[in-house]
């Protein structure tokens, strides 16, 4: 009897051949991780022996084998017919009295009250291997009550071994159909219908960045998130500072969650219905920060226990308000990838944007748009076409392998379409809202997932580059090679490149793209005169406790994402350096900005920070930095002050920061200064007594040395960083910084464009050079060449291992 049923308390991960990957993992966590606080609902599982006995007693083995022999393995034209017949054979069988009795006894033992609700889940014995995931291939039944409904659900799980998608998946993965048994897990029901549920990855699913946990979820049952019916909430949690006990949520994204899936009454067996989510709940995160952190800690415990990246499912019981882990399996996409080899895609041109959403993968493809309403329309899809639909479910799986790309209106990064696209290695843009309306069936489109976390669909054929890079063959030079960055969406992918951190993080991109609002318009919202701007601000900030907090939180998330990606390497954040005309273009900005004839050398940089016209805005910037460093724990963030004209100005800025509780030296906070004005070079030694380090802004320094407006088209040919006067200023700054014993770097394009300029900097004794992402690898090559020519025979550092060896 006991060989037919196994209680979770008697299961371990080594029992995969007996109860499949899903049930073995549940038993493992129930037994091994409960003591660490991970909450897993109790249950039992039918064994593989029970499945084989069922087939034998009902004489189903040979009929199933004969049926599978008839499968068209070339075009799979008879897949639906074969699948339907196989399922019918299994459903028509009968359970033995022993098996029925074993199930009923285990169910009775599990019950706290008569007819306790349970979840009934399929678990294949070849399931959840690192090289393949059977996620979504077999059926699950929720809220099952009573013996009769339970027995019927278990039989339906048995039959789901032969769903069309499961048959096709096994064919694709070369699994022998007759070697796989189906175990069924019966687990106490978590009432997520009255709460919320979702999924999580202990690795960033697009880039494979290993230091974050992505949690996503929806109100009600999780099927809405799996099928991509609604766009979920998303939370990114940074592992290293989570372990330090910090509020390590570095990014939160509120999904629309327009529908909530709940249970419907149907004779004791699972039945669900989708109802509209109330507006106030759509505008509310499904989890508190404390709950996000609790789930993230559990995810980290699970990952450490299994010693691999994991894909988990979780649920919150709306009656008890307790969180539970309901499933955990190995992450299968990045596990088998070679870490140091990348294919980089880059658009050479831009076009009309037809749709945008969550980018899945990092590829670019061109293809024919093929609009499909359901899998029944699959005959329309030719190999390489870009499939466009409202959303997809596991029933679409046999089709998706033919698609060159996928676009859906609904769904987040953990939706079915996203998971399958990753596994198949095809690019996808999910959660576009309107792709089925804006894209015409049959038109040629370009799908780009190479521009960060946002994917774009462009009209027509756009040219793009594709380049294979083996980072294992790249050496980092002694002179540090850093990034110039601005877009948080690209941070996790770029962190995989050889680098020494971020030498310049421009926050202006975050302000213009994520915040969009002038900070003083938020501080002085009640005094804002522009009614249209006021209305727009109300819309953008309605989900935040107050207007200034919106600025602080959005800026902090953007900075934290980049700081986390490169942690523990330093990330130097330059405080805002908009010119007055640029600030005026922000929402509500015109009221708070003076009009200047020459903004380039006007009210910009350090002069603003302690001036009454902007000091309250600067206070918000300081609060964001403070939140990133102290609350989130990302102490690798340093601050840099731009366009600081005088020593007195430098002191005023340091004092202003201190008033905003951002104190130089406290919690190891370093404050750098941009060297971009001749006065910075002339008085470099005096400025070194105020600041902890320098970074040369070669564009502004060249501009002000030569007296050339770098924005003037007429003077473009005269602007030259290689000009002897500009180079002499740079060399002087480096010499004085070295004399004072403080670090000095340079941010600019010239060291990558001109090998001789890189050589000049290396010979002058620069500590670091920062490059735009597209110039980094060329820049590293130029620095290495310069250091070789200098013939110092210094040891070379591998970017991955941080040892004086080549990457192997």
Neighbours of 719 (CB within 10 A): 17
- Who contacts 23 (Cβ-Cβ below 8 Å, separation ≥6)? 6, 8, 11, 15, 45, 121, 123, 183, 185
Which residues are bridge partners to 572 per DSSP? 638
| Spatial distance between the Cα atoms of 394 and 168, rounded to a whole number of angstroms | 11
> How is 213-267 classified by DSSP, letter by letter?
EEEEEEEB-THHHHTTSSPPEEEEEEHHHHTTTS--EEEEE-----EEEEE--ST
Q: Active-site residue numbers? A: 416, 747
Q: Cα separation of 728 and 704, whole Å? A: 13
353-360 and 341-347 strand pairing: unpaired
CA 651 – CA 641 distance, rounded (Å): 11
**DSSP-assigned letters across all residues of 84-137:** HHHHHHHHT----HHHHHHHHHHHHHH-SSTT--EEEEEEETTTTBTTB--TTT
- CA-CA distance, 14 to 603, in Å (whole number)? 67
Distance, in Å, from the CA atom of 81 to the CA atom of 64, rounded to the nearest integer, reads 13
Helix (H) or strand (E) holding 44: strand 43-46
Q: Which residue has the tokens 């009923």?
A: 104
253 touches 266 (CB < 8 A): no
Nearest 5°: the CA angle 613, 614, 615 is 110
Find, among 316, 298, 90, the residue nearest to 194 by Cα.
Answer: 316
Short-list 24, 26, 44, CA closest to 34: 26
- Which residues fall within 8 angstroms of residue 622, CB to CB, at 6 or more apart? 657, 660, 661, 662
Q: What is the spatial distance between Cα 330 and Cα 132, in angstroms, rounded to a whole number?
A: 9
Q: Which residues contact 744 (CB under 8 A, 6 or more apart)?
A: 675, 693, 694, 695, 696, 733, 734, 737, 738, 766, 767
Q: State the angle between helix axes of 615-626 and 647-659 in degrees (0 to 180), rounded to the nearest 10.
A: 60
CA distances from 633 to 300, 671, 743 (A): 17, 17, 24
Is 65 in a helix, a strand, or coil?
helix
Sign, CA torsion 513/514/517/518: negative
Strand partners, 764: none
Q: Long-range contact list for 622-627, CB < 8 A, 24+ apart?
A: 622/657, 622/660, 622/661, 622/662, 623/552, 623/660, 624/551, 624/552, 624/553, 624/555, 624/556, 624/559, 625/556, 625/559, 625/573, 625/662, 626/660, 626/661, 626/662, 627/552, 627/553, 627/556
CA gap 328, 26 in Å, rounded: 7
Q: What does the alpha-carbon distance between residue 296 and residue 302 come to, in Å, rounded to a whole number?
A: 10
- The most distant pair of C-alpha atoms in the chain lies apart, rounded to whole Å, by 95
Give the list of residues 6+ apart from residue 465 with CB closer than 8 angstroms, or none.
Answer: 344, 345, 346, 348
The contacts found for 483-487 with CB under 8 angstroms, 24 or more apart, are 483/566, 483/770, 483/771, 483/772, 483/773, 483/776, 484/747, 484/770, 484/771, 484/772, 484/773, 485/562, 485/773, 486/510, 487/452, 487/513
């Amino acid at each position: 009897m006991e060989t037919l049923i196994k209680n979770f308390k008697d299961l371990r991960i080594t029992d995969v051949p007996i109860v499949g990957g899903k049930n073995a993992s549940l038993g493992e966590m129930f037994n091994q991780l409960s003591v660490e606080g991970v909450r897993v609902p109790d249950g039992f599982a039918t064994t593989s022996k029970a499945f084989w006995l069922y087939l034998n007693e009902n004489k189903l083995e040979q009929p199933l084998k004969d049926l599978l022999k008839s499968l068209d393995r070339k075009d799979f034209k008879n897949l639906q017919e074969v699948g339907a017949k196989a399922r019918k054979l299994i459903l028509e069988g009968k359970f033995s009295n022993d098996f029925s009795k074993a199930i009923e006894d285990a169910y009775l033992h599990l019950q706290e009250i008569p007819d306790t609700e349970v979840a009934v889940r399929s678990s294949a014995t070849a399931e959840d291997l690192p090289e393949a995931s059977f996620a979504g291939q077999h059926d699950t039944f929720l809220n099952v009550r009573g013996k009769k409904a339970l027995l019927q659900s278990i039989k339906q799980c048995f039959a789901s071994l032969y769903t069309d998608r499961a048959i096709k998946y096994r064919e694709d993965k070369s699994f022998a159909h007759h070697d796989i048994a189906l175990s069924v897990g019966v687990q106490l029901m978590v009432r997520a219908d009255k709460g919320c549920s979702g999924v999580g990855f202990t690795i960033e699913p697009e880039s494979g960045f290993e230091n974050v946990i992505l949690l996503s979820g929806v109100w009600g049952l999780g099927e809405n998130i799996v099928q991509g019916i609604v766009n979920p909430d998303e939370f990114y949690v940074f592992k290293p500072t989570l372990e330090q006990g910090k509020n390590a949520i570095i990014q939160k994204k509120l999904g629309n969650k327009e529908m909530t899936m709940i249970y419907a009454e149907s004779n004791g067996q699972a039945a669900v219905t989708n109802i509209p989510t109330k507006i106030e709940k759509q505008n509310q995160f499904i989890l508190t920060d404390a709950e996000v952190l609790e789930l993230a800690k559990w995810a980290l415990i699970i990952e450490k226990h299994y010693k691999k990246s994991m894909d988990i499912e979780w649920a919150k019981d709306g009656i008890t308000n307790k969180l539970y882990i309901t499933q955990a399996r190995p992450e299968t996409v990045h596990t088998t990838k070679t870490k140091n080899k990348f294919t980089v895609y880059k658009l050479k041109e831009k076009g009309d944007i037809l749709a945008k959403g969550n980018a899945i993968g990092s590829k670019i493809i061109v293809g024919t748009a093929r609009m499909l309403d359901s899998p029944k329309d699959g005959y329309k899809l030719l190999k390489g076409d870009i499939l466009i639909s409202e959303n997809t479910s596991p029933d679409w799986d046999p089709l998706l392998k033919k698609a060159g790309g996928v676009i859906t209106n609904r769904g987040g990064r953990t939706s079915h379409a996203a998971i399958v696209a990753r596994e198949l290695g095809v690019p996808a843009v999910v959660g576009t809202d309107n792709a089925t309306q804006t894209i015409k069936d049959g038109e040629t489109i370009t799908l780009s997932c190479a521009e960060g976390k946002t994917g774009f669909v462009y009209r027509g054929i756009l040219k793009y580059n594709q380049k294979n890079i083996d980072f294992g063959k790249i050496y980092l030079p002694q002179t540090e090679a850093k990034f110039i960055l601005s877009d948080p969406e690209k941070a996790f992918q770029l962190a995989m490149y050889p680098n020494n951190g971020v030498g310049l993080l421009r926050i202006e991109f975050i302000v213009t793209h994520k915040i969009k609002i002038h900070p003083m318009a938020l501080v002085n919202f009640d005094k804002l005169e522009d009614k249209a701007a006021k209305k727009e601000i109300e819309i953008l900030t309605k989900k935040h406790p107050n207007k200034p907090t919106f600025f602080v939180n959005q800026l902090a998330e953007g900075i934290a994402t980049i700081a986390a990606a490169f942690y523990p390497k330093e990330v130097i954040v330059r405080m805002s350096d908009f010119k007055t005309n640029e600030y005026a273009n922000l929402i509500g900005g015109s009221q708070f900005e003076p009009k200047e004839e020459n903004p380039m050398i006007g009210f910009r940089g350090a002069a603003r920070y302690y001036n009454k016209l902007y000091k309250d805005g600067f206070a918000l910037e300081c609060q964001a930095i403070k939140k990133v460093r102290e609350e989130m724990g990302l102490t690798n963030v340093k601050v840099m002050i731009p366009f600081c004209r005088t020593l007195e100005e430098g002191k005023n800025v340091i004092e202003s920061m201190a008033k905003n509780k951002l104190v130089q030296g406290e919690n190891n906070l370093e404050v750098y200064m941009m060297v971009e004005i001749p006065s910075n070079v002339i008085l470099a030694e005096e400025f070194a007594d105020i600041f902890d380090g320098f970074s040369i802004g070669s564009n502004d320094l060249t501009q002000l040395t030569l007296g050339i407006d770098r924005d003037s088209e007429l003077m473009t040919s005269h602007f030259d960083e290689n000009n002897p006067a500009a180079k002499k200023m740079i060399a002087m700054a480096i010499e004085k910084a070295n004399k004072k014993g403080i670090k000095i770097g340079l941010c600019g394009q010239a060291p990558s464009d001109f090998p001789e300029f890189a050589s000049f900097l290396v010979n002058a004794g620069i500590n670091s050079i920062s490059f735009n992402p597209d110039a980094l690898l060329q820049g590293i090559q130029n620095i290495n060449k310069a250091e070789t020519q200098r013939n110092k025979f210094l040891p070379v550092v591998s970017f991955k291992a941080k040892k004086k060896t080549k990457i192997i």
